[in-house]
Amino acid sequence: MSRLPRYDLLFEPIQIGPKVAKNRFFQVPHASGMTNANPRVRAAFRGTKAEGGWGVVSTGACSVHPSSDDSPFPFASLWDEADVRAHALMTDAVHEHGALAAVELWHGGAAAVNRTSRAVPLSPSGVPWMATHVGFMSSARPRVMDATDIKALIDWHAKAARRAERAGFDILYVYAGMGYLPYQFLLSDYNRRTDSYGGTVRNRVRLVAELIDAVREATGGRCAVALRVSMQELRARPSEVAPSEAHEVIGLLKDAPDLFDVKMDYSTTDCAPSRFADEGSHEPVIDFMKSVTDKPVVGVGRFTSPDTMVSMIRRGVLDLIGGARPSIADPFLPAKIEAGQIEDIRECIGCNMCISSWHDGVWVRCTQNPTAGEEWRRGWHPEIIRKDSAETALVVGGGPAGLEAALVLARRGMKVSLAEASDAFGGRLLWETRLPGLRQWFRVVDYRLGQLRKMPNVALFAQSALSAADVRAFGADHVVIATGARWTTNLCNDSEIPGDPLVAPRVYTPDDIAAGVTIEGPVAVYDFDNYYLGSAIAEDLARRGLRVTYVTTAGAAQAWGFMTNEQPLVHRAFAAAGIDYRTLEVVTGFDGETLQLKQIFSGEPRSFAARSVVIVGQRTGGSALYDALAETGELPSLALAGDANAPGAIAHAVYNGHLVARGLGANLPPPRRDAPFAPPELSMPEQDR
């Protein structure tokens, strides 16, 4: 097969200053959790995207100086020659496949409080970022930059640019977005200066223009220079000389960079979850760019549909299709479009587990792509699995873990049978994706079923509940049990450990709702799981016309949703649906009419009227079928996978199913351990201090 002619536009070369991108697929800078301490892991992760057809592959935010230290969050740096060596591995991996390599030169200013370096944070006017989440909070406040500081900042960018060129980067970013230092000069909330760098928009733009010039001059015009700029706040602010301050800023800078990379101001809207935002959600904010500048423009929007991509270009919204999350879910997205294999794209589901990994300070993880971050450490490729076995395998359970295990085993060459007790495959996603906003998560099932149905060595059996005797009689060489987990009615005690079940009339779990039980209102949803399901159930019940009160042991609704950019949007959804919520409370009892609670810290008793209670708290794994099979020890190869092995998010189930299937009947080597390059004797050359 070959690509459809209507997608030819996506594969046109694009001039970016002195460089030429081979196509319009641009993997924009995004966090990966892979710092200079993991140079080989990072090189393989980014290099795989170049192999998959992305014309430009960028690394993430890269600090230009120790006064921009984002720890404990993972960040890269370009401070010395050891850093140059670390990044050179990545640029070599990208160039090997004909792609351009880009780096995002970054200074956090007031948003980077330098927990490790202990340098005093810098800002235009001493205005701090008053973060409300504990992970970002700090008692350190920035100082006002003087003329010497501004000159130093420009110099740091120039020196970092020269190191970047030595490392092999083709495109060098000036990063004026997401609340970081150059952006702080653009936005009047941060910039209250009265000198030539403050006041009017023209003055506030001055520093960004000087940084662009300094980066270009530092490399003698040999590298392309990109400006990454946030548009959300600027677009919303009026201007006396243009439709908005965003128009005015871009008008003043329209000829300065070789490329504009446009984005939102806040992670919640920049990387909005699919639950609350559709593909291409940035367009209303960035759609004006091509009317102001002739320079190429790249932007994102969780693009997975090639038709949407073509539309963005033909309508003059973008010149290049930016990808962060879609490039993680499927590094080979461009190659599949070019090969006419649209149905094989592993589409991003917008769950934002990738973003949670940055908040956790670990390498990127992905629900759709369990090989993300494992390309070097385990030698996993997202598309290629070595055929190493002609044995037979039986997978019991057709949820996310079972589907992934079956697919991996089949790609290894085994003859695979997948048995599912219900009449459809999908496991927990069959019901969960019917909840508000979660339909796109069914892509986890659609992709795997689509692949399995094309494979001649796979047999799918729905409505096939199996006993231990059935499994033994089947006679497979390998057996994987992936039968999922079960929700309990256990309460959460004061020490935040699940306790005894709540025994009372009309007490339900998500499993009961999935089975179609009728819920009487008013209903309380008691959530100490703190991920998406409790809040989604509350929304669903409210849509049925029930009066809903959401109760959580945490300080906010769907507290862990902060990690996935969902928490602010959940609170807005609750307000729109009329859902009351109560935080920092534990349920102590229920008599069918009144729910008894207490404040988790003070113990103060509280109560409110309710007819039903839905508890979204503890899940238990395990499998009676697995136990019965393991007890006799008759089967030569038996494994427990996914939620049955250990309950978790869908990403955990898919990863575990993948890992189990890779290891069955194989002697897998241990994961490799990466290590940084040794720094020079001094952390910074004397002239950089």
Got the DSSP string for 363-381?
----SS-TTTT-TTTT---
Decide if pLDDT at 685 tops 70: no
Percent of the chain with pLDDT over 70: 99
Cis peptide before 669 (omega within 30 of 0): no
What domains appear along the chain, each with residue ranges and CATH number? 5-360 (3.20.20.70), 392-485+621-663 (3.40.50.720), 488-620 (3.50.50.60)
Q: Quote the CA–CA distance of 669 and 656 in Å, as a whole number.
A: 17
Pull the structure tokens for residue 563. 């990690």
Predicted pLDDT at 681: 63
- Is the pLDDT confidence value at 20 over 90? yes
Distance (Å, whole) CA 450 – CA 458: 12
Binned at pLDDT 50, 70 and 90, residue 141 comes out as very high
- Tens-digit pLDDT profile for residues 571-594: 999 999 999 999 999 999 999 999
pLDDT at 639 over 60: yes
Q: Is 190 a catalytic residue?
A: no
Q: Which helix (H) or strand (E) holds 211?
A: helix 201-218
Can you tell me the distance from the alpha carbon of 541 to that of 185, in angstroms, rounded to the nearest whole number? 46
pLDDT at 684 over 60: no
Residue 133 has pLDDT above 90, yes or no: no
Q: Are the C-beta atoms of 494 and 503 separated by less than 8 Å?
A: no
Asked if residues 122 and 142 have their Cβ atoms less than 8 Å apart, the reply is yes
Would the pLDDT of 687 be above 60? no
Give the C-alpha separation, 198 to 651, whole Å.
46
Mean pLDDT confidence for 334-357: 97
pLDDT computed for residue 680 by the predictor: 74
653/251 Cα distance (integer angstroms):
49
pLDDT at 230 over 70: yes
What pLDDT does 689 receive? Answer: 40
DSSP codes, 248-279: HHHHHHTTSSSEEEEE-SSHHHHT--TTT--T
Mean pLDDT across the chain, nearest whole number? 96
pLDDT band at 494; cut points 50, 70, 90: confident
Alpha carbon distance, N-terminus to C-terminus of the chain: 57
Cα separation, 239 vs 237, in Å, equals: 7
pTM of the model: 0.96
Q: Of the listed 7, 173, 175, 180, which one is catalytic? A: 180
Least confident of 189-193, 272-276, 683-687: 683-687
| SS3 assignment, position 285 | helix
Burial grade of 575 (CB within 10 A; 0-12, 13-18, 19 or more): exposed
d(CA 500, CA 570): 29
Residue 136: the pLDDT is 87
pLDDT beyond 90 at 292: yes
Mean pLDDT (whole number) for 300-306: 97
Whether 519 shows a pLDDT value over 50: the answer reads: yes
Cis peptide bond upstream of 522, omega within 30: yes
Range 41-48 average pLDDT = 98
